[in-house]
Amino acid sequence: MSSDLSVLGISGSLRRASLNSGLLRAAAELHPPSTEYATFELADIPLFNSDLESNGPPKAVVALQETIKHSDGLLLAVPEYNYSISGVLKNALDWASRGDPSVLDGKPLAIMGAGGRYGTVRAQLHMRQIALHNSMRVMIDPDLHLPRARSLFDNDGNLTDAKTRDKLRAFMVAFTEWITHSRTDPTLKYR
Amino acid sequence: MSSDLSVLGISGSLRRASLNSGLLRAAAELHPPSTEYATFELADIPLFNSDLESNGPPKAVVALQETIKHSDGLLLAVPEYNYSISGVLKNALDWASRGDPSVLDGKPLAIMGAGGRYGTVRAQLHMRQIALHNSMRVMIDPDLHLPRARSLFDNDGNLTDAKTRDKLRAFMVAFTEWITHSRTDPTLKYR
Amino acid sequence: MSSDLSVLGISGSLRRASLNSGLLRAAAELHPPSTEYATFELADIPLFNSDLESNGPPKAVVALQETIKHSDGLLLAVPEYNYSISGVLKNALDWASRGDPSVLDGKPLAIMGAGGRYGTVRAQLHMRQIALHNSMRVMIDPDLHLPRARSLFDNDGNLTDAKTRDKLRAFMVAFTEWITHSRTDPTLKYR
Amino acid sequence: MSSDLSVLGISGSLRRASLNSGLLRAAAELHPPSTEYATFELADIPLFNSDLESNGPPKAVVALQETIKHSDGLLLAVPEYNYSISGVLKNALDWASRGDPSVLDGKPLAIMGAGGRYGTVRAQLHMRQIALHNSMRVMIDPDLHLPRARSLFDNDGNLTDAKTRDKLRAFMVAFTEWITHSRTDPTLKYR
């Protein structure tokens, strides 16, 4: 149906059995049926270098930018490396933030993360500041932090814990509501 | 008119000639005519101590909580002391955040600040994290940072710079729009 | 002995049974015997207002500044309120940071905290940024975060958990070493 | 001379005419004669993926890790992209932080940055938090923020402004002193 919302999920980890990529796969199963859902893999994104833009950005970057542009909301699964988001994810966002307006400008965003002693709390704080630069509309509640998450997933990184699956289901419903709400924000014009 | 929005301005500085208090006085002149505007002074708020709550919070604290509760949006003028918001303001927010829900929960908020080399950019970043704890709906755009602000004000701390007054007028219009928008946020129920 | 180091402990909470004040009392028992240890209570510090400085700062503030000045290192127990340090503590630091140089400039500092889901990790991050403004020498390792700390203390807020007491003892030894080291820092002259 | 200190400079930008890379080239001219100085280019570092470590990390990563390991101090020039350090630099640090201990653990670090309205102040705050995870010994004073830096450099990104060159020279002297001091830090054993 043309009025369906589309959510684009991106994981900050390239590791095959990544818990954060597993969270995104679970989101693919648990999002509301009225929402379209797709993911984008960052493995082919080159390191950011604005010199590469002179003849148009690299092909994988164009694909990333177009895919974000045509999605209604961005869902980021952020592993915490060194108290911040992964360089892999930051690098992709550096590319995506190019242009005026960029494809990130004013985009509805939900942030979630698994792992670490404190469930990626520090990485998520950094991510919110990064999103602020792009005037992204970051969902406030509910949040999704999964500390010491190893036991919530099987060995292939699939989310198996029933309670966490319920949380994620509610998170995806809320995000759909947030996207719909954010699209009517009259202050988007002040960007 | 009963449908009018009310904005409550609070300055993080108690100094008589404070630039941030001056910003708030200018907001009193420049807000949209359809918006009610009041300020609350923090001088009488005691240091936070939850032991004082056992027989009901101190009178000044009750006044602060009630005034916030009955306002539709909170406007904070944040001086930057030691790379963060002032202790005076943080102390008031610590009192205001008490209760479940507290009067801060989900409240629309606009942050502005004058002073310093970088226009209170670090204090405003801290303020956004503090607001996140209370699920406050913090306006994203436009922002209002006033670096090296001394020359924009007269000696009594009144905002005299025409360009900055125009910025502030637009900021207040945007905040009114933001408040109206935030009140319809369906994700407020996830707090 | 005149070569002894002195540590000054300050709690960010005024509550009688505060876990963070309890941590400081435990530090009084567990610090190395060669270190002098004292605490300073913030209950009488007025709200910061630079207008009050014109005839000399208030008496309690002078006492705070003098006590910090004559200590060799500052030990802060930071409760986390609203994802940051308490307003009570921030207000005291705002007073202490006055003057050029202030009594905080270059002072060795150790930060610890009890409580919350994540052991005051966000408050400690804010505290490190605040300390940076004052060029304080903040101890890096070991850290001391005590999540869900209630069960480590008795009902009066005394630290009873043996393992945590051992951690704190090691923390205090490390801080003594850190103070001694920081006093020889040749880059203190660049403040 | 075998007692010479070696500093390794890394730029967070890959752009040919990058101001931050220009800062590093200027550091190569202005560091104390008793200090060895080298730079490492990040262009060949692949995106971080811990699966790639199973047969030993990629060649460029081994080179990065070895070069950091054999340097006495790390000098990072951090452009500010999206209110944080560049993904290019974060990705390199994610690789460098691998292992226990990693080559970053306890390493003396100096941070500088050029560009933006506020001289990379937000990126440098993020960098300090990232460094904390690795217990890096980050120099506190002097700092080096260069707001609106375009006019301080020629069109090839060479630092030409005399006053800024003096600042950088003093910064490099201070960093040499900081490295020497950090190597004697007795609390390094608590990592």
Cα distance between residue B114 and residue B79, in whole Å:
6
The Cα of B74 is separated from the nearest Cα of chain C by a number of Å equal to 17
Mean pLDDT computed over every residue of chain C: 96
C-chain residues near A119 (CB < 8 A):
118
A-chain residues near B180 (CB < 8 A):
186
Cα distance between residue A61 and residue A42, in whole Å:
9
Q: What is the DSSP string of chain A?
A: -TT-EEEEEEES---TT-HHHHHHHHHHHHS-TTEEEEEE--TTPPPP-GGGGTT---HHHHHHHHHHHT-SEEEEE---BTTB--HHHHHHHHHHT-SSS-TTTT-EEEEEEE-TTTTTHHHHHHHHHHHHHTT-EE--SS--EETTGGGGB-TTS-B--HHHHHHHHHHHHHHHHHHHHHTT-GGGGG-
Cα distance between residue A37 and residue B160, in whole Å:
52
Do A141 and B190 make contact, defined as CB atoms within 8 angstroms?
yes
**Three-state secondary-structure class, residue C39:** strand
Residues 6+ apart with CB under 8 A from B55: none
Angle at B28 between CA B24 and CA B85, to 5 degrees: 15
Report yes or no: B122 and C129 within 8 Å, Cβ to Cβ.
Answer: yes
Q: Choose among D63, D77, D140: nearest CA to D108.
A: D140
Q: What is the pLDDT of residue B2?
A: 43
Is pTM beyond 0.95? Reply is yes
Cα distance between residue A167 and residue A172, in whole Å:
9
Q: Choose among B180, B1, B189, B45: nearest CA to B108.
A: B180
B-chain residues near A128 (CB < 8 A):
128-129, 132
Do A137 and B140 make contact, defined as CB atoms within 8 angstroms?
yes
Report yes or no: C171 and C142 within 8 Å, Cβ to Cβ.
Answer: yes
D95's tokens: 């690789």
Q: What is the pLDDT of residue B1?
A: 38
* 191 residues of chain B, pLDDT tens digit each: 345 899 999 999 999 999 999 999 999 999 999 999 999 999 999 999 999 999 899 999 999 999 999 999 999 999 999 999 999 999 999 999 999 999 999 999 999 999 999 999 999 999 999 999 999 999 999 999 999 999 999 999 999 999 999 999 999 999 999 999 999 999 999 98
B-chain residues near D122 (CB < 8 A):
121-122, 125
Q: What is the pLDDT of residue D2?
A: 43
The Cα of A101 is separated from the nearest Cα of chain B by a number of Å equal to 14
Question: Would you give the distance in Å from CA D61 to the centre of its chain?
Answer: 16
The full 3-state SS of chain B, as one line of letters, equals CCCCEEEEEEECCCCCCCHHHHHHHHHHHHCCCCEEEEEECCCCCCCCCHHHHCCCCCHHHHHHHHHHHCCCEEEEECCCECCECCHHHHHHHHHHCCCCCCCCCCCEEEEEEECCCCCCHHHHHHHHHHHHHCCCEECCCCCCEECCHHHHECCCCCECCHHHHHHHHHHHHHHHHHHHHHCCCHHHHHC
C75's tokens: 């030990």
Q: What is the pLDDT of residue A3?
A: 58
Q: Does B15 touch chain C (CB under 8 A)?
A: yes
Phi, psi of D182 (to 5 degrees): -65, -30
The Cα of C156 is separated from the nearest Cα of chain B by a number of Å equal to 13
Q: Output the CA–CA distances (angstroms, integers) from residue D190 to B57, C57, D100, D101, in the order listed.
A: 44, 40, 13, 12
Which of C83, C118, C120 best tests the A interface by mutation, with the highest count of A CBs <10 A? C118
Q: What is the pLDDT of residue D191?
A: 85
pLDDT band at A1 (very low <50, low <70, confident <90, very high): very low
Report yes or no: A110 and A175 within 8 Å, Cβ to Cβ.
Answer: yes
pLDDT band at C2 (very low <50, low <70, confident <90, very high): very low
Q: Which of C125, C174, C185 is closest, CB to CB, to D187?
A: C174
Do D181 and C178 make contact, defined as CB atoms within 8 angstroms?
no
Q: Which of C128, C180, C186 is closest, CB to CB, to D177?
A: C186
Cα distance between residue D24 and residue D30, in whole Å:
10
Kindly report, residue by residue over C45-100, the tens digit of the pLDDT.
Answer: 999 999 999 989 999 999 999 999 999 999 999 999 999 999 999 999 999 999 99
B-chain residues near C94 (CB < 8 A):
81-82, 86-88
B-chain residues near C48 (CB < 8 A):
14, 81, 86-88
Do A130 and D84 make contact, defined as CB atoms within 8 angstroms?
yes
Per DSSP, C151 falls in state G
Residue A2 has pLDDT above 60, yes or no: no
Q: What is the mean pLDDT of residues C18-37?
A: 97
Do D48 and A82 make contact, defined as CB atoms within 8 angstroms?
no
Can you name the residues that pair with D112 across neighbouring β-strands? D77
**Three-state secondary-structure class, residue C167:** helix
The Cα of A118 is separated from the nearest Cα of chain C by a number of Å equal to 6
Can you name the residues that pair with C109 across neighbouring β-strands? C74, C138
Neighbours of chain A (3+ CB pairs under 8 A): B, C, D
Q: Choose among A23, A140, A157, A1: nearest CA to A78.
A: A23
Q: What is the pLDDT of residue C191?
A: 85
Do B181 and A177 make contact, defined as CB atoms within 8 angstroms?
no
Report yes or no: D157 and D19 within 8 Å, Cβ to Cβ.
Answer: yes
**Three-state secondary-structure class, residue C41:** coil
Q: Does A122 touch chain C (CB under 8 A)?
A: yes
Q: Is B99 left (phi over 0), alpha (psi -120 to 50) or beta?
A: left
C179's tokens: 């103070």
Report yes or no: D42 and A77 within 8 Å, Cβ to Cβ.
Answer: no
Q: Output the CA–CA distances (angstroms, integers) from residue D48 to A65, A87, B126, C41, D90, in the order listed.
A: 21, 7, 30, 49, 10
Asked if the ipTM is above 0.90, the reply is: yes
Q: Does D121 touch chain B (CB under 8 A)?
A: yes
The Cα of C136 is separated from the nearest Cα of chain D by a number of Å equal to 8
Residue of D nearest to A127 (CA): D84
A-chain residues near C122 (CB < 8 A):
121-122, 125
Q: What is the DSSP string of chain D?
A: -TT-EEEEEEES---TT-HHHHHHHHHHHHS-TTEEEEEE--TTPPPP-GGGGTT---HHHHHHHHHHHT-SEEEEE--EETTEE-HHHHHHHHHHT-SSS-TTTT-EEEEEEE-TTTTTHHHHHHHHHHHHHTT-EE--SS--EETTGGGGB-TTS-B--HHHHHHHHHHHHHHHHHHHHHTT-GGGGG-
Q: Choose among A184, A164, D119, B94: nearest CA to C78.
A: B94
Q: Does B125 touch chain A (CB under 8 A)?
A: yes
C-chain residues near A124 (CB < 8 A):
none
Q: What percent of chain C has pLDDT over 70?
A: 98
The owner of tokens 């933001």 is B178
Report yes or no: B136 and B107 within 8 Å, Cβ to Cβ.
Answer: yes
Taking the CA atoms of residue C162, residue C168, residue C171 and residue C172 in that order, the dihedral angle to the nearest 10 degrees is: -120
Each residue of D154-164: b (16+ CB within 10 Å) or e?
eeebbbebeeb
**Three-state secondary-structure class, residue C140:** coil
The Cα of B79 is separated from the nearest Cα of chain D by a number of Å equal to 17
Residue of B nearest to A142 (CA): B190
CB atoms under 10 Å from CB of A76, counted, come to 26
Do B177 and A184 make contact, defined as CB atoms within 8 angstroms?
no
C-chain residues near A121 (CB < 8 A):
118, 121-122
Which of A16, A88, A138 best tests the D interface by mutation, with the highest count of D CBs <10 A? A88
Which amino acid, one-letter code, is at A68?
I
Q: Which of C15, C47, C50 is closest, CB to CB, to B49?
A: C15
Which amino acid, one-letter code, is at D141?
D
Q: Does A143 touch chain C (CB under 8 A)?
A: no
Residue of D nearest to A128 (CA): D83
Can you name the residues that pair with B145 across neighbouring β-strands? B113
Neighbours of chain D (3+ CB pairs under 8 A): A, B, C
Pairing state between β C108-114 and C145-146: parallel
Cα distance between residue D185 and residue D191, in whole Å:
12
D-chain residues near A49 (CB < 8 A):
13-15, 43, 88
Element (H, E) at C175: helix C162-182
Q: Does C89 touch chain B (CB under 8 A)?
A: yes
Can you name the residues that pair with D38 across neighbouring β-strands? D8
Q: What is the DSSP string of C44-105?
A: TPPPP-GGGGTT---HHHHHHHHHHHT-SEEEEE---BTTB--HHHHHHHHHHT-SSS-TTT
C-chain residues near B82 (CB < 8 A):
90, 93-94, 97, 130, 133-134
Q: Does D180 touch chain C (CB under 8 A)?
A: yes
* 191 residues of chain D, pLDDT tens digit each: 345 899 999 999 999 999 999 999 999 999 999 999 999 999 999 999 999 999 899 999 999 999 999 999 999 999 999 999 999 999 999 999 999 999 999 999 999 999 999 999 999 999 999 999 999 999 999 999 999 999 999 999 999 999 999 999 999 999 999 999 999 999 999 98
Residue of B nearest to C126 (CA): B126
Residue of A nearest to C147 (CA): A118
Cα distance between residue A155 and residue A70, in whole Å:
34
Neighbours of chain B (3+ CB pairs under 8 A): A, C, D
Residues 6+ apart with CB under 8 A from B162: none
Q: Please state whether the peptide bond connecting residue A108 to the residue before it is cis, i.e. omega within 30 degrees of 0.
A: no
The HSE-up count of residue C17 (CA atoms within 13 Å, CB side) is 10
Residue of A nearest to C120 (CA): A118
